[in-house]
Amino acid sequence: MRELTVEQKDRLLQITLNRPEKRNALTCDMCTGLAQAVNEAQKREDIGAIFVCAAGQVFCAGMDLDEALLPHHNLAAAHEDLFTMGAHSVKPIVMCVNGPALGGGLGLVAQSHVAVAAQSAVFGLPEIRIGLWPFLVYRAVEAALGARRTLELSLTGRVFQASEALHAGLIQMTCPPDEVCDRANVIARDIAKASPRTVAAGMQYYLGSRGKSSVDAGELAAALRTELMASGDFEEGRAAFKAKREPRWPSMPPGFYERQ
């Protein structure tokens, strides 16, 4: 059984953590494979969104400690691309958090652009309980949760509920455990079916405006808005809205609508 499965379904790239017997603890190969799949998707016009989920009852229990203790184990190198992918991916990353997301699992959720979690899911940085500090995921979690909250979680190792994760903005939605995968998948598929040109412009603004001054962000927004308003997708969107029909985006890959 492969520890990580990658498959394309229509315009959706689905990546599944597939190590349920080990609570989906991350190995170096899993980290490298996941980051590589996301990186390769950036160049693919036939992929509109990335959907990350997990087999079993646990989303991800963190890094594989047994593997981390092996000689010459370069854990930092394996995690570097993984825990920065959300800040670089122009393809929206949607995650289905079906259960506990701890340590590296929390770092992984922090890389999502949209995350849907089971109401029973829990989150945390428990490394301090075994004499470690979450160095590898710290900055990723800090970007999602803020400096003070991340420090508190790291110092206490406490586990928090999905309701707190929702309030903090780490996840965007909760639902019953038996509905979480379907709900997250619908969101990912809806994004994948949206105007590719518009999604690309939106992600370009999201990534490109972060940390910029309001003036620079405004200039980027104006340029992207001008491009979109001159595009065939905007023209088609307006026409479809007036005609009360589903749009057929010109920027979709050739043959997409014929295959539906």
Higher local confidence (pLDDT), 43 or 122? 122
Quote the pLDDT of residue 65: 84
Q: Using 50, 70 and 90 to split pLDDT, how confident is the model at 70?
A: low
What is the pTM (predicted TM-score) of this model?
A: 0.94
Quote the pLDDT of residue 214: 95
Per-residue pLDDT tens digits for 230-249: 999 999 999 999 999 999 99
State the chain's mean pLDDT as an integer. 95
Sorted by where each begins, the domain ranges of the chain are 4-193, 196-259
Edge to edge, the sheet with strand 12-17 lists 4-9, 12-17, 49-54, 93-97, 114-118, 173-175
Which CATH fold topology does 4-193 show? 2-enoyl-CoA Hydratase; Chain A, domain 1 (3.90.226)
Per-residue pLDDT tens digits for 49-61: 999 999 999 999 9
Quote the pLDDT of residue 69: 67
* Beta carbons of 3 and 27 less than 8 angstroms apart: yes
Per-residue pLDDT tens digits for 17-53: 999 999 999 998 999 999 999 999 999 999 999 999 9
Beta strands of 78-145 (E only): which ranges? 93-97, 101-102, 114-118, 122-124
CATH code of the domain made up of 196-259:
1.10.12.10
Which residues lie closer than 8 Å to 97 by C-beta, 6 or more apart?
59, 109, 115, 116, 117, 118, 121, 162, 171, 180
Backbone φ and ψ for 160, nearest 5 degrees, come out as -120, 160
Angle at which helices 147-156 and 135-145 cross, to 10°: 140
Quote the pLDDT of residue 250: 97
